[in-house]
Structure 1
């Protein structure tokens, strides 16, 4: 009997036995976080192809989304207050006060904004209430121009060294 070969997962770097039906091209194990990484990598590869870069862009898709939103006006609105469960609330246990631990480090704001363009796009969409790419792009161009105006005004006031 042939020995089953193991692969190293591209996400967690652990050895795993691939599914026999996909053994030639399975590169991620079956852990949920590795499956998410596999899907993200697959979507990046798909969007990286020239034919797919402008997928769902343009006036036809914009009009399709507007028609759908007109037909479903309350879809994105927040729901009313949640109903209470039919059970009694459990008493909260006091939490011991612990000092700040130095092991948890947070990403600086500059790295968060430059390293995560999706976070910035989500923030713009959240603040403006826009979800269409054209609206977000228009707002982004306006914000970029505003930042350039602010930086150029600051450079004019700064004395020469």
Structure 2
């Protein structure tokens, strides 16, 4: 076995991007998203349709004009699209500005999973990424008890 084959045996590729075309090209096992990567993708003309879908879904859910809901819905739609390109999991990150607020982190995790459920995404393929602060760890305990 050569070194490349040995390395492949012990590693897996995880994409950390909002670029759906790059994910399709690289064919990673899993992928992760974060708000800054998704913002960059939202500025790209190739993803305008995804942004419009997010606005339409927010309107359907009764949250038209609410920027937090729009960004969360966009993130979940991007996660759904990523799952069409990877066999494994997608991680959706809770905004780092909530790192020291247990309640807000829990609420954001719940909201992200509720949107994924609305999109009929298999929850077993979603990871909610939370900061490893004291408050984040408390939030994870609560979310895990709820099956998130």
Q: Relative to total residues, which structure has the larger helix share, 1 or 2?
A: 2
Q: TM-score, normalised by structure 2?
A: 0.19
Higher RCO by CA contacts (8 Å cutoff, separation 6 or greater):
2
The structure with more strand, counted as a fraction of residues: 2
Q: TM-score, normalised by structure 1?
A: 0.18
Larger Rg: 1
